Amino acid sequence: MFATGFYLEREPLSLAQLAGALVDWLQNFGALAALGLVAWCIAHLVQMRGRKGRKRLNPLFIALVSIVFLLYAMVGALFLGRAMGIRVGNVMPSTDPSKLLTTGDWLLALAGSCAVLAVLLPMLGDLGTGRLRWRRIVALARLSFKEAMHRRVLLLVFAIMALLFLFASWFLTSKDEDQLRTYVWVMYFAIKVIFIMLAILLGAFGIPTDIKSLSIHTIVTKPVEKFEIVLGRFFGYCAVLTLGMAVISALSLLYIYRGINEKALEESYKARVPVYGELYFAGTKQKDKGENVGRMWAYRSYITGPHPTTPNASRQYAIWAFDAVPAEIARRDGAIPFEFSFDIFRMSKTKEDEQGEAGIYCTFTFADGRLPLTKISERIEDARKEKEALNAKARKTLADKKALEQRADEIERELAHKYGLYSISGVRVVDYHTLKVTAPADLFRKLQELESESPREATPGSTRPPSLQVLVSVDRDTAGSSSQMLGVAKRDFYLLAAERPFLVNFLKGIVGIWFTLVLILGIAVTCSTYLSGVISMLVAIFLFFPGLFVTDIEEFAKSKTEGGPLESLYRIAKGAPEAAPLDSSPATSFLKSSDVVYRWWLLRFLTVIPDFNRYDLNNYVGNGFDIPWIDQGLFTDNLVPLLGFLIPCAILAYYLMKFREIANPT
């Protein structure tokens, strides 16, 4: 990570992707619900066999179960047809969520919806008949809150955080501009670790302790539903965690603000609202990638300047294409800021400045997105010649230095509006610093005029051209620039649309941690409805730790490369090199087939593992980037997935608690 640029392992969930995410959720959760229905049907048939009086089932439930089995039979027929070589258009379920939904996808989603509705019928019946009362749930939540406070669980949390506030600064060392980033990471990490442990302990041992002490018997013998006890425990413990986090968050803010220096304030004590473009390259071997410099972390791609011995060689560009620029940008009077934070791969020693920093020089060109690269080069040359002529004329007519500067600025803006292009050369780029370039607002007004005159439309076989493209290249042999390589990534360059308060952004990050606590608490409480306290705690921990590496596990499971655990063991046992292909034999074929099955089951396992890293918003807050409330932010990327896991947990807890014989002492 360099300066304010931050690395995300995956793109946040957007509003446009919610429909696809809902379909995926219905497919996965519906499959689990269907398995539960199969188990229930088998158990019901076994129990009813030989009995004269059978309990009449709900006709709606029977209809839903029948539809579920019928739809899954249709999907099974599709797979059977493919195995037999029958191809009927694009009907098979897709494994890539980014592709268009097929008929098989909709069949699976519909089957999942019916399965979920079937398992929800008893809960909906309890709500409809008034068996579940929020008044009793609130009373049980208040009781859980008082019990937790009586145990003084928060005092230990406050004591640990007090030690951190007193002595953390003794051990935290960083560059001046990185100080706020370090403080935020330490505070968030401490809060997350301490409160996750507290959430697991409260959720895992709450109900089992009641059962062990027999105190729950005095509750279930009253007009209280068993599921109300689960909800009461959950909401009561949520209140305890919320109170503790509110106090600790306020103290953490005071601790951060009192100790940061001016450079850290300037670098990260803000909440930038960035507008990102799509990154591609020109002049390199591949359009979607730059040069590879051999670094293990392949997050950035690299471009270089032309070497002095080959001045006519094609120039390499990193190009950011902005599909749409906010309309209010063109209405601004001043210059439009763009920020960037690039990496420099040094192939030779360069001269350092007074601060001991060695940089390279680059050219930034802002242009209409519909212009091809050759046309941009021609317009740059035409604008340069006209600029020289106008400046020469101004020097003849104006003697005052300030008037000359004002006229030069006017010329820049006039030419930007005339040509729909603005270029600035000699921009110094330094490692580990957030830097800024500006473009005149007249350029964006020109882009809006062009859009109104001839709207951008996709041509057959291609996508719609962007509204704005920004070309970055290394200058020709300027202070050793051509012998260095510039590393760029999509989020390294952005249009700075606005800046918001750091305080609100810090609290948004705390909300992300709170979502983590609510999720792990829900898992622990669900496990505690049927398992003992220790086992519930272990299950919650078992689900939490893989949830920190969901992206890595998914990348391995979806990897197209050869190899798997069984094949790796075989190579180790035989001493075969990793890159060499294995000999073709029945044994190796079996190993490869087993690894394919293993990867498939690994992907199925990931559907029940929450991605806890999505709630870690430290990168946003520490680097000074605003966390959106709705799109690609707290709502779509945090709250929606949280509900997607809490709903299955609630349904599972309902059935586990309902069929557990609590009131009968053992």
User: Token match 């300027």: residue?
Assistant: 478
Ranking 42-56, 443-457, 609-623 by mean pLDDT, the lowest is 42-56
- For the stretch 195-210, pLDDT in tens is 999 999 999 998 888 8
What average pLDDT does this structure show over 650-657?
90
Q: What was the pLDDT predicted at 561?
A: 56
> Could you tell me which residue, 178 or 367, shows the higher pLDDT?
367
For residue 664, is pLDDT > 60?
no
What average pLDDT does this structure show over 613-620?
90
Residue 200 burial (CB < 10 Å; 0-12/13-18/19+)?
buried
Highest mean pLDDT among 228-237, 255-264, 311-320: 228-237
Q: What was the pLDDT predicted at 351?
A: 56
Q: What was the pLDDT predicted at 640?
A: 93
H or E stretch including 282?
strand 278-282
Q: What was the pLDDT predicted at 481?
A: 55
- Mean pLDDT, the chain, whole residue set: 82
What DSSP letter does each residue of 165-226 carry, written as one string? HHHHHHH----GGGHHHHHHHHHHHHHHHHHHHHHHHHHHHHHHHHHHTTTTHHHHTSS--H
What average pLDDT does this structure show over 394-418?
84
Helices 179-212 and 502-528 cross at an angle (nearest 10°) of 20
Residues 6+ apart with CB under 8 A from 347: 483, 484, 485
Q: What was the pLDDT predicted at 365?
A: 94
The domain spans of the chain are: 1-47+56-131, 140-268+503-559+612-666, 272-500
- Compute the distance between CA of residue 600 and CA of residue 596 in angstroms, rounded to an integer: 6
- Compute the distance between CA of residue 49 and CA of residue 445 in angstroms, rounded to an integer: 78
> Could you tell me which residue, 36 or 353, shows the higher pLDDT?
36
Residue 61 burial (CB < 10 Å; 0-12/13-18/19+)?
middle
For residue 458, is pLDDT > 80?
no
The identity of residue 567, as a single letter, is: E
pLDDT confidence of 1, banded at 50, 70, 90? very low
- For the stretch 237-290, pLDDT in tens is 999 999 989 988 988 888 888 777 777 777 788 899 999 999 999 888 877 788
For residue 3, is pLDDT > 80?
no
What average pLDDT does this structure show over 480-509?
86
> Could you tell me which residue, 510 or 216, shows the higher pLDDT?
510
Q: What was the pLDDT predicted at 495?
A: 93
Four-CA torsion 565, 568, 572, 574, nearest 10 degrees: 120
Q: Quick one: tokens of 522?
A: 């829900």
Q: What was the pLDDT predicted at 160?
A: 78
For residue 322, is pLDDT > 90?
yes
What average pLDDT does this structure show over 386-395?
87
Q: What percent of the chain has pLDDT over 90?
A: 23
pLDDT confidence of 317, banded at 50, 70, 90? very high
- For the stretch 154-163, pLDDT in tens is 777 777 777 7
> Could you tell me which residue, 493 or 395, shows the higher pLDDT?
493
- List 422's β-bridge partners, or say none: 366
Rounded to two decimals, the pTM is: 0.85
For residue 306, is pLDDT > 80?
no
- Compute the distance between CA of residue 114 and CA of residue 544 in angstroms, rounded to an integer: 30
- For the stretch 549-608, pLDDT in tens is 888 888 777 765 556 777 777 777 777 776 677 777 787 788 778 887 888 888 888 888
Are the C-beta atoms of 484 and 344 separated by less than 8 Å?
yes
Q: What was the pLDDT predicted at 471?
A: 94
CB atoms inside a 10 Å sphere around CB 92: 17
CB atoms inside a 10 Å sphere around CB 324: 13
User: Token match 């400045």: residue?
Assistant: 353
- For the stretch 517-561, pLDDT in tens is 999 999 999 999 988 889 999 999 999 998 888 888 887 777 655
- Compute the distance between CA of residue 284 and CA of residue 289 in angstroms, rounded to an integer: 7
What average pLDDT does this structure show over 83-92?
64
Q: What was the pLDDT predicted at 357?
A: 58
Phi-psi region of 345 (alpha: psi -120 to 50; beta: other; left: phi over 0): beta
- Compute the distance between CA of residue 329 and CA of residue 498 in angstroms, rounded to an integer: 10
Ranking 33-47, 68-82, 247-261, 349-363 by mean pLDDT, the lowest is 349-363
CB atoms inside a 10 Å sphere around CB 307: 12
Q: What was the pLDDT predicted at 355?
A: 47
For residue 368, is pLDDT > 70?
yes
Q: What are phi and psi of 273, to 5 degrees?
A: -110, 95
Ranking 85-89, 134-138, 258-262 by mean pLDDT, the lowest is 85-89
- Compute the distance between CA of residue 5 and CA of residue 18 in angstroms, rounded to an integer: 27
- Compute the distance between CA of residue 544 and CA of residue 223 in angstroms, rounded to an integer: 36
Are the C-beta atoms of 500 and 621 separated by less than 8 Å?
no
3 state DSSP class of 661: coil
> Could you tell me which residue, 442 or 581, shows the higher pLDDT?
442
- Compute the distance between CA of residue 422 and CA of residue 238 in angstroms, rounded to an integer: 54
Among residues 221, 216, 195, the alpha carbon closest in space to that of 206 is found at 216
CB atoms inside a 10 Å sphere around CB 522: 26
